[in-house]
Amino acid sequence: MEWEPDSPRPQVELPREPYDRWVSPAGYCQAEFYRDERGYLIRFPSQADFLIEVKSGDGGEFRITGWPTPQCDAKTTLNLYHNAIQPILGNHSGGLFLHGSAVCARVEHHSDGEEGAVAFLGLSRSGKTTLAGSFAQAGHPFLTEDVIDLARSDGRYLLQPKRSKLRLFADSARHLLGRDTEFENDDIKQDVDAGAGLPFADGAKPLRQIYVLGTDLRADLSIRQFSLQEALSVLLPNAFILDVEDKASLRGHFGRLADLSQDIPCYALDFMRDYSELPRVRKAVLGNLANG
For 122-167, how does the pLDDT look when each residue is reduced to its tens digit (9 = 90+)? 987 788 999 999 999 999 999 998 999 999 988 899 999 998 988 8
Residue 62's alpha-carbon distances to 25, 32, 81, 161, 162, in angstroms, are: 31, 19, 13, 23, 20
**What pLDDT was estimated at residue 5?**
75
- Residue-wise pLDDT for 176-229, tens only, equals 888 667 777 767 788 888 988 899 998 999 999 999 999 999 999 999 999 999
User: Which carries the bigger pLDDT value, residue 256 or residue 110?
Assistant: 256
Backbone angles phi, psi at 54, to 5 degrees: -90, 125
Higher pLDDT, 185 or 99: 99
DSSP state of 182: -
Q: Can you give the pTM of this predicted structure?
A: 0.91
pLDDT digits (tens, 9 = 90+) for 218-266: 999 999 999 999 999 999 999 999 999 999 999 999 999 999 999 999 9
Q: pLDDT digits over 57-74, tens only?
A: 545 688 999 999 999 988
CA proximity to 205, closest of 107, 284, 280, 80: 107
What is the residue-averaged pLDDT of the chain? 90
109 pLDDT exceeds 60? no
3-class DSSP state of 244: coil
Closest CA to 40 of 57, 70, 20: 20
